[in-house]
Structure 1
């Protein structure tokens, strides 16, 4: 059964003749006849009484509402795809890590809403692993996250690096570590820490560094918002390792202190502790004009110019 056969069937039912159906469909009468014969062959029953006027048989009457529904669904589907290619979509869904959502993304959001006022922009703040999962599940159109090479593989996945940024230490202003210009790792590992919850790339990054140092991470508290990090650390005992972009507000707070890390003396390759922020979508989505436009806006407006000086090492 083919769509044009159903369309021919409907045209005959509406016009009452094979000749009228041919004019309606813009084909020859013999073409209409062949399509109906093929359809009847598939079904095993005649659909029309061949008289002076084509009248539906019982089988034809049963098929009529179903054929209308199938053809209407096809018309709706093709129109939706046409609208999609033309950039006419009801919403654009983005999953973003907290630090970008709070500080660097708002100008991009404002620009996009100005350029596409008819599209509802939906932004969800999620941890990196969760954001990549909902992208793969088709629940969002794009994710801006900390890179996870295990979750960004696949021919359909498009990944663009936005920037690398250093990880720094957040502490209370009166914390003993605040006396250091750069915090030595051998000192840092002595203090209990507040960390991101499981499923956040930062937790995995910090845990991996402590394992490479052959040190125990004293993770006594897990939170998932930047406000919570600042509030807990402000109490005086706990410290936190956070990316540069997550510490914008903390740098303005006189009750808090932010310090860069010193050399990673215990790490074999002596590398600095940094995270990579990437933009991720799929090949098919990147062909859709609004998604393509948002991708370009992010590329043009992010990254912030973050210094990765390692002079102390």
Structure 2
């Protein structure tokens, strides 16, 4: 059963004439006749009485409401897809790591909303693994995360590099490690660590660094908010390894200190991930372009501030 057969059936039932139905459908009368004949052959029964005025048979009466629903659903689906391709989608959903959502997305959101005032933005701060999962599940359109080739190797995925930043050591202002300008990894390993929970790329990155250096990671506490990291570290001898962009408030906190690590320098790579089909939709393409442009600009400004240079 083809859609054009149902459309011809509806046209005949509403006009009462094969000729009038042909004019409505923009085809010849013989074409309408063939479509109705093919429909009847597939159903195994006639749907019209061929009299001076085409009238529905019992079978035709049963088919009529379902044919209307099928054609209406098709029209709605066709309109929704056309709107999507034209950039008329009602919302755009973003998932991103906390530091990006806090520091880099606000100016991007402002510019995007000026270009697409009718598109509602929904932004959720999540860990990298969770962000990629909701992207794969179709719950968000774009994920801004730590680079993880194991989770983005699918051919449908588009991975756009954004920036690379060092991981630094956060500690209390009177912590013994403040004696170092660049803290050796062996010295870091002597102190209990506050780490991100499972599902956060930072936890995996830090664990791998300790494994590669042959040291033991003394994970004493798992957290998932930067405020909690600062509060815990400020109180005692625990330390935390965090990306530079997550340490903005810490540089200005007199109760905290930040030091870079000694070689090997640990780097975090941040990328934007979406899918090829989403990237062809104008609002999503615009948002991704803004992220590439403004995150790079914001990160350069972030790295050039006197506070960061002094702390690093």
Residues 119-156 of structure 1 deviation map (CA, whole Å, 9 limit, x = unaligned):
11000000001100110110000000000000011211
Q: Which runs of 5+ in 1 are unaligned?
A: 265-271, 308-313
Query: Shift of the alpha carbon at 1:87?
Result: 0.3
Determine if contact 1:169/1:258 at 8 Å carries over to the other structure.
yes
1:285 equivalent in alignment to 2:286: no
Counterpart Cα distance in 1 of 2:53 and 2:155: 56
Query: Shift of the alpha carbon at 1:26?
Result: 1.2
1:12 equivalent in alignment to 2:12: yes
Counterpart Cα distance in 2 of 1:59 and 1:134: 46
**Structure 1 residue corresponding to 2:289, chosen from 296, 306, 312:** 296
Residues 87-117 of structure 1 deviation map (CA, whole Å, 9 limit, x = unaligned):
0000000000001111111110111112111
Q: What is aligned with 2:67?
A: 67
1:118 equivalent in alignment to 2:118: yes
Alignment of 1:1-313 (within 5 A): 1-264=1-264, 272-303=265-296, 304-305=299-300
Q: Which runs of 5+ in 2 are unaligned?
A: 304-312
Counterpart Cα distance in 2 of 1:274 and 1:155: 26
Counterpart Cα distance in 2 of 1:288 and 1:127: 26
Q: Normalising by structure 1, report the TM-score.
A: 0.95
Indicate the SS of the match to 2:272: strand
Q: Normalising by structure 2, report the TM-score.
A: 0.95
Indicate the SS of the match to 1:209: helix
Counterpart Cα distance in 2 of 1:132 and 1:255: 35
Determine if contact 1:170/1:241 at 8 Å carries over to the other structure.
yes
Q: What is the count of residue pairs matched by the alignment?
A: 301
Indicate the SS of the match to 1:284: helix
Determine if contact 2:170/2:242 at 8 Å carries over to the other structure.
yes
The worse-fitting range, judged by mean Cα deviation, of 82-91 and 108-117 is 108-117
Counterpart Cα distance in 2 of 1:230 and 1:60: 72
Determine if contact 1:197/1:224 at 8 Å carries over to the other structure.
yes
Determine if contact 1:174/1:236 at 8 Å carries over to the other structure.
no
Residues 196-235 of structure 1 deviation map (CA, whole Å, 9 limit, x = unaligned):
0001000000000111111111101000011111111111
Counterpart Cα distance in 2 of 1:181 and 1:102: 28
Residues 250-275 of structure 1 deviation map (CA, whole Å, 9 limit, x = unaligned):
001111111000123xxxxxxx2101
RMSD of aligned residue pairs (Cα, Å): 1.1
Determine if contact 2:168/2:258 at 8 Å carries over to the other structure.
yes
Query: Which structure 1 residue ranges, 4+ long, deviate > 4 Å from structure 2?
Result: none
Indicate the SS of the match to 1:234: helix
Indicate the SS of the match to 1:195: strand
Counterpart Cα distance in 2 of 1:246 and 1:252: 12
Q: What is aligned with 1:269?
A: none
Q: What is aligned with 2:306?
A: none
Counterpart Cα distance in 1 of 2:116 and 2:22: 43
Counterpart Cα distance in 1 of 2:86 and 2:111: 20
Query: Shift of the alpha carbon at 1:236?
Result: 2.0
Counterpart Cα distance in 2 of 1:212 and 1:22: 75
The worse-fitting range, judged by mean Cα deviation, of 83-92 and 298-307 is 298-307
